[in-house]
C-alpha cells in the first residue's frame, strides 16, 4: 500500500511540475519577451483551469504525503515500543548491578569473611 501511495505522490509531483511550467508567468518573466504569442496560445479559461489544477495537484501531494506517513507509523504500534522500552529500563539496573559486583581484571574476587587486598603503593 505504501508503494502505491508513493507512486501516486511521484505522479502528482511530475504533473504538478509540468502544469507549473505550462502556465504563463504573472510577473512577465520570460513570457513577456515573446509578446503577442501569449495572447494567441491561451485564453482566460485555460489559465483558470491550469491554476485550479495546480492547487488540486499540490493538495493531492500534501494529502498523499500525510497518508503515507500515517501508514509508515502505523506499522509498529506504540504498545510494542512501550513494552520494549519498559524491558530495557527494568533490565538496566540489573545490568549495572552485575557490572559493579564483577572484580576488576587481574584481581581475584574477595571471599566472604576475608578482607579485600590493599592497593599497591604508588611509585
Domain span holding position 55: 47-74
- pLDDT digit string (tens) for 13-31? 999 999 888 887 665 544 4
Examine residue 29 and state whether it is found in any structural domain, yes or no. Answer: no
Q: Max Cα separation, the chain?
A: 104
Examine residue 41 and state whether it is found in any structural domain, yes or no. Answer: no
- The predicted model scores a pTM of 0.48
Specify the pLDDT at position 31: 47
Examine residue 18 and state whether it is found in any structural domain, yes or no. Answer: no
Structural domain count, the chain: 1
Q: How many angstroms separate the CA atoms of 38 and 33, rounded? A: 10
Examine residue 52 and state whether it is found in any structural domain, yes or no. Answer: yes
Closest of 45, 51, 49 to residue 25, by C-alpha: 51
Q: How many angstroms separate the CA atoms of 108 and 101, rounded? A: 12
Examine residue 5 and state whether it is found in any structural domain, yes or no. Answer: no
Residue numbers in the chain where pLDDT is lower than 70: 25-45, 75-81, 94-120, 123
Examine residue 1 and state whether it is found in any structural domain, yes or no. Answer: no
Examine residue 86 and state whether it is found in any structural domain, yes or no. Answer: no
Amino acid at each position: 500500500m505504501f508503494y502505491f501511495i508513493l507512486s501516486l505522490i511521484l505522479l502528482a509531483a511530475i504533473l504538478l511540475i509540468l502544469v507549473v511550467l505550462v502556465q504563463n508567468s504573472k510577473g512577465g518573466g520570460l513570457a513577456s519577451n515573446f509578446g503577442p504569442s501569449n495572447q494567441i496560445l491561451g485564453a482566460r479559461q485555460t489559465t483558470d483551469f491550469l491554476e485550479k489544477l495546480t492547487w488540486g495537484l499540490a493538495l493531492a501531494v500534501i494529502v498523499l504525503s500525510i497518508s503515507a506517513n500515517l501508514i509508515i507509523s502505523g506499522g509498529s504500534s506504540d504498545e510494542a515500543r512501550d513494552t520494549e522500552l519498559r524491558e530495557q529500563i527494568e533490565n538496566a539496573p540489573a545490568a549495572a548491578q552485575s557490572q559493579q559486583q564483577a572484580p576488576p581484571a587481574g584481581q581475584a574476587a574477595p571471599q566472604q569473611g576475608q578482607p579485600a587486598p590493599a592497593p599497591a603503593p604508588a611509585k
